[in-house]
């Protein structure tokens, strides 16, 4: 195992509520009568990418207008408003990283294991989320970054993983991915990268067949897992644990992964 590849939204941090509020703030600023609630947003998350999600919804409610020649320009403008609201919210309040994320990244950096990002979000959103945790030079912590601007096809297409693997100069079997959603799992597996899944309340009902493990978070001394995963009694997932799981995946060792957890366990 030579690299860990992390999704961002829902994986590094539980960002989806902040994104939902930013979308609704953009709708209000643009004087649209749209308002997404959590149940609707959970369904819309099946569409990866903010612009793609906006266009999908527009086609749902106003199919004729959404097919017009100016639709893509309108979506670009609306998404720019949403990004501004999101980045302002992040820089004003910030969001904690999910348990175990900062610790595992530190462990990997110390051990010479490269860390990468494979996401459908924008670089502006990445900067707003990660700068409070890793400082202005946060990008130096990551050996490769694949984001919304680096590939055209969004998850569940594997394109962003192929891009990150090319940046790293590594085969898929030398890497391990971390995702929170079915789309992310499919993208990583489509690139033949083994995957650990940590769902959120928004993705807990997704199908995670084929994941190495499905668990509520990676755990920390102050937020332990206290559960059995792949036959191991764990308090948190550290670098030796993911090395073992990765080795099992590469060598085709089957171990029972837990079923996806429901929202009440998040």
**Phi and psi torsions of 175, nearest 5°:** -125, 165
Could you confirm whether 9 is annotated as catalytic?
Answer: yes
Nearest partner of 177 among 157, 158, 197, judged by Cα: 197
Backbone angles phi, psi at 82, to 5 degrees: -60, -45
Verify whether residue 7 is a known catalytic residue.
Answer: yes
Long-range contacts of 33-39 (CB under 8 A, 24+ apart): 34/61, 38/202
Those residues whose C-beta lies under 8 Å from the C-beta of residue 148, and which sit 6 or more positions away, are 49, 50, 119, 120, 121, 122, 123, 154
Cis peptide preceding 156, ω within 30 of 0: yes
Active site residues: 7, 9
């Amino acid at each position: 195992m030579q690299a860990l590849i992390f999704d961002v939204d829902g994986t590094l941090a539980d960002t989806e509520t902040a994104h939902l509020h930013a979308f609704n703030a953009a709708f209000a600023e643009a004087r649209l009568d749209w308002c997404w609630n959590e149940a609707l947003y959970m369904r819309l998350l099946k569409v990866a990418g903010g612009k793609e999600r906006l266009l999908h919804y527009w086609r749902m409610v106003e199919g004729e207008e959404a097919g017009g020649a100016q639709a893509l320009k309108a979506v670009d403008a609306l998404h720019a408003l949403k990004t501004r609201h999101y980045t302002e919210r992040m820089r004003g309040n910030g969001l904690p990283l999910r348990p175990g994320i900062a610790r595992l990244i530190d462990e990997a950096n110390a051990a010479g294991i490269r860390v990468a990002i494979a996401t459908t979000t924008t670089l502006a959103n990445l900067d707003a989320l990660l700068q409070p945790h890793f400082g202005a030079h946060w990008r130096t912590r990551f050996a490769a970054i694949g984001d919304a601007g680096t590939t055209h096809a969004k998850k569940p297409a594997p394109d962003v993983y192929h891009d990150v693997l090319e940046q790293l100069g590594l085969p898929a079997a030398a890497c391990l991915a971390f995702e929170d959603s079915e789309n992310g799992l499919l993208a990583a597996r489509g690139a033949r990268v083994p995957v650990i899944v940590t769902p959120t309340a928004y993705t807990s009902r997704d199908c995670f067949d084929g994941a190495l493990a499905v668990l509520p978070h990676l755990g920390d001394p102050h937020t332990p897992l206290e559960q059995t995963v792949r036959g191991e009694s764990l308090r948190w997932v550290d670098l030796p644990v993911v090395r073992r799981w990765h080795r099992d995946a590469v060598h085709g060792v089957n171990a029972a992964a837990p079923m996806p957890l429901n929202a009440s366990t998040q």
